[in-house]
């Protein structure tokens, strides 16, 4: 395992975007009746978190900070 243990800009950004996606999706499920467009928007945001991570990692933002 790396020394950074996920404490990189790429990892933190992906986590924040993923949490945003889960929040949006959850709000969609709380509506009465359920709002499937809002739910699926949350799913799309959550999937985008993985893509954001991959792009940022390719940019070199997932490397060890040298502590």
Per-residue pLDDT of the chain (67 residues; tens, 9 = 90+): 556 567 899 999 999 999 999 999 999 999 999 999 999 999 999 999 999 999 999 998 887 655 5
d(CA 43, CA 45): 5
pLDDT for the residue 21:
98
Q: Is residue 5 part of a domain?
A: no
Alpha helices in the chain (DSSP H): 9-30, 36-58
Number of compact structural domains in the chain? 1
Domain that holds residue 30: 17-58
Q: Is residue 45 part of a domain?
A: yes
Nearest 10 degrees: CA dihedral of 11, 12, 17, 19? 110
Q: Is residue 67 part of a domain?
A: no
Q: Is residue 2 part of a domain?
A: no
Give the predicted TM-score (pTM) of the model.
0.83
pLDDT for the residue 67:
53
Backbone angles phi, psi at 5, to 5 degrees: 50, 35
d(CA 37, CA 25): 9
pLDDT for the residue 66:
56
Q: Is residue 42 part of a domain?
A: yes
Q: Is residue 27 part of a domain?
A: yes
pLDDT for the residue 61:
86
């Amino acid at each position: 395992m790396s020394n950074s243990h996920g404490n990189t800009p790429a990892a933190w950004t992906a986590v924040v975007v993923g949490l945003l996606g889960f929040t949006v999706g959850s709000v969609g499920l709380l509506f009465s009746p359920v709002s499937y467009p809002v739910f699926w928007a949350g799913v799309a945001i959550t999937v985008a978190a993985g893509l954001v991570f991959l792009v940022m990692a390719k940019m070199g933002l997932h490397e060890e900070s040298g502590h």
